[in-house]
Amino acid sequence: MYKVKRGVPFLINQLQVVRSIFQNDDYTNVIISSSGKTGINGAAVSPSIKKALKAAFGEHLERTSLYLNSVSFSKNSILAYDITNDYVEKMPLERILLTYGSHLFKGKNPEFNDTCGVGSHTNSFYSIESGFLEFIERQSIIFNWLTAKEGEKVNISTFDKKSTIKAINKVTNYVDNIYSFNISLSSNVFVILSIGVGKKNIGIGLAADWEAEDAFLSTLNEMFQFFGNQKNKYEHNDVEKNYSFNTPLEEGDPQYYLKYFMKYFNKDNLLKEYSYLFESSQLEDYKKYKPVNVEELTRFIRKIGNELMIDIKMAYIPSRIKHTPIKIAKFLTNDGFPHMKTEIINTKNITLLEREFTPNKGKFLPFP
């Protein structure tokens, strides 16, 4: 077992594990909060408590390494690899870190940034893969939302893995209908958006993967972060559920997107905002080739960068907690979207949006 060396600061304030008392709802919801800045949490949901704990710890390390990590840098830049064009360049730290108020940004006014495109793992391949898949899923949903373009309807009845069928049955304990769409920008990878709605509960999940079924299953697991310790639809009384947060919304809050989403969206306006997707054609191809090593993955990322005509850059971020084996990768681009706060994105500066109509320009993306 790996042990953190003595003297290393442990930035965890609280670890919460939520498990249902009902046998048919055996998902584990893990939330890890930081002892530093409020809202820097790591969260994960899985049928396996071990997987949920690992994923939550990984996300917590990602967040603390982005928000509380100025001590790891002596300069205000970091080396990044432009995978599309195959060269290394210096990237300003304000494009990577979220340590606003740090001495590194003294005299500067950094533009808004967030955690999009970050992945972590103890293995370099999985760190790069998870970071890239999150990058392409976020670029895809922002593009899809701003342009209100149709995607491809996913026929979930075609999925036959036991884990998928089990997850569908569990999600439908909370919602009545699940709608899923492939909204990927690339023909080489799936980006699945799933929306679950019921009389009392709503859920939404987004995931990218090389197989549609794997991406879909991840969206269902993500939905369980909404349900957590909520009552399922069979236990509900007739009192209307109120998801609202009473705390004020602040741009620098790590949970800004979640709080905004929960405050302003319900089953009716959520479906209305995504109504353009229901005109989509049916998805026909459910599998893509899956890269199996770093070299192959790098070629695939370069291929997708050329397909979309965007630069795809990657930087490694040192962990805030030293001497841990975790590797943190951040993906970003100058030609796509810098963050998910769509209401402030200047669409004229986005190469991906050239010659595109943007009916949802200036509107909040209904995704947490």
Q: pLDDT tens for residues 301-356?
A: 999 999 999 999 999 988 877 778 889 999 999 999 999 999 999 999 999 999 89
For CA atoms 91, 93, 94, 95, give the dihedral sign.
positive
Burial 289-310 (b: 16+ CB within 10 A, else e): eebeeeeebbebbbebbeebeb
CA 13 from centre of chain: 23
pLDDT classification of 30: cutoffs 50, 70, 90? low
The structure tokens 């049928």 sit at 47
User: Helix, strand or coil for residue 63?
Assistant: helix
**Banded model confidence at residue 89, pLDDT cuts 50, 70, 90:** very high
More confident residue, 324 or 170: 170
Q: For residues 304 and 314, what is the distance between their CA atoms, to the nearest angstrom?
A: 14
Quick one: tokens of 118?
């970050």
pLDDT of residue 246: 53
Domain residue ranges in the chain = 75-353
User: What SS3 class is residue 327?
Assistant: strand
Instruction: Yes or no: say if 351 and 335 are a contact pair by the CB < 8 Å rule.
Output: yes
**Residue 140 · residue 183 · CB < 8 Å:** yes
Backbone phi, then psi, for 300, in 5-degree steps?
-65, -45
The Cβ of residue 44 has, within 10 Å, a number of other Cβ atoms equal to 23
d(CA 186, CA 278): 20
Phi and psi, residue 196, nearest 5°: -110, 130
**What's the mean pLDDT in 32-39?**
54
The tokens of 360 are what?
């949802």
Q: What span, in angstroms and rounded, lies between the C-alpha atoms of 196 and 178?
A: 4
Q: 112 is written with which tokens? A: 């808004």
The two three-digit tokens of residue 201, written as one number:
């509960």
Q: Distance between CA 336 and CA 314 in Å, rounded?
A: 14
Residues β-bridged to residue 88: 81
350/139 Cα distance (integer angstroms)? 11
- Residue 270 pLDDT grade (very low, low, confident, very high; cuts 50, 70, 90): very high
> Residue with structure tokens 């990768």?
329
For the cut 90, the answer to whether the pLDDT of residue 105 exceeds it is: no
Per-residue model confidence (pLDDT) at position 201: 86
Give the helix/strand (H/E) hosting 48.
Answer: none
Return the top range by mean pLDDT from 12-26, 66-80, 164-178, 258-272. Answer: 164-178
195, 255, 245, 219: CA torsion to nearest 10: 20
Torsion from C-alpha of 116, 359, 265, 140, nearest 10 degrees:
-30
Place of tokens 């249902």: 20
